[in-house]
Structure 1
Amino acid sequence: MKVYAEYFKLDNGQEYRKKTLLHFGNGTNLIGSAVLMNPGSAKQKGEPDLTFIKSFYGENHQIKEMDLKNWKLFSPDSTMGQLEKIFNGWYIGKQRELNGVIQLFNCFYFRNQNFGEAIKNYNKESNYNFNESQFFLDKPVYFGWGGAGKYGDLKPIATDIFLNYERNKTPIYDSKFENNCFYHPGYVNRSYSRNPKTQQLMKDFFELIL
């Protein structure tokens, strides 16, 4: 997995990681997307493959001109690895190699693996909150904002994302927001062997990726 992300560091030291691409194999096709809580421990480690990023956005989103000065290469973190296992069938014993791109978004983009600290910087009016639904296209989307999105501080923005999503593109979600699990990839990784709901969610989602 190669990780490319749009990264900003403000004068006050705050870091933001916005659009993130998880690239598998050599493909430039869009596999699907995920919306989680906020960026965590993945660290910048160098310069990205700008030719690939241009190709991805040109072929999938018909964006021919874009400002790439803030894009960086990142190291994968554990959540990204867990997300890969959701998309490649690992949790249901049907693992296969991915070839293409998973787009990773978050409800808000303040980078801090300590969510309790990160949420202190959450601003409902910020330009660093999710507003990229136009990039979902017709591919499956995994909503994994966990309890913070279902019940907590992120519920307003998570609800807005969900209610404005065309759920027929990922027909595993109940139309009522509160009836869905929205398990974070970390919880999936901890619970898949003992929680029937997790197992069913993984099965249903993987069938959309095939």
Structure 2
Amino acid sequence: MIDIAIVDYGMGNLRSVHKALEHVAPTLSIAVTSDPNVVRKAKRVVVPGQGAMRNCIQELETRGMREAVIEAATHKPYLGICLGLQMLFKESEEGNVQGLNILPGKVVRFPAAVMITPDGQKLKVPHMGWNQVYQAIKHPLWEGIPEDARFYFVHSYYVKTLVETSIAAQSQYPFSFACAIAQDNIFAVQFHPEKSQSAGLTLLSNFTKWTPNF
């Protein structure tokens, strides 16, 4: 049995995620896979991704991975990264596409009209680079990570959850937005822990040892 399955649906920096997980958990078996049966048998599942939501959902369906990802997100430790977070929600403005509808809420684009800081600085979309992450709840995946640690972001869309108690962290660009969601066996982030140096590696290490109560 594979300890950690990294879902390959043709989108995302899988090599970086794989290498980072191998670094923090060298004794575990970790596989990058597009086989839904491997995902179903794995003890833990990581769903990374970057790119357009419509393509993401299409590729999951084409590769027969949609149901396997839904099962993972409801039955075992699940770590979503970037699109791996966004796909969990009901719908996305990006292409007006339906998501997996596991979590209530939607994915929306940063509105150009409000992308100005109080001192008049215009911010670019996508939101790209390092930004502080402010933890909203205590969670095993935050263990050993400062409450205002910086993580690396690359995204033009963000999630608006209908369940505020599921927000595990927020960031600002220029307004506050949810950048981490925690619910039962799901922990999903908008930033890229595999690109976030020590804080990101700590989060990934915590995931490899996390046993959720659900």
Larger strand percent: 2
Give TM-score, length-normalised by structure 1: 0.36
- Where relative contact order (Cα < 8 A, 6+ residues apart) is larger, the structure is 1
Give TM-score, length-normalised by structure 2: 0.35
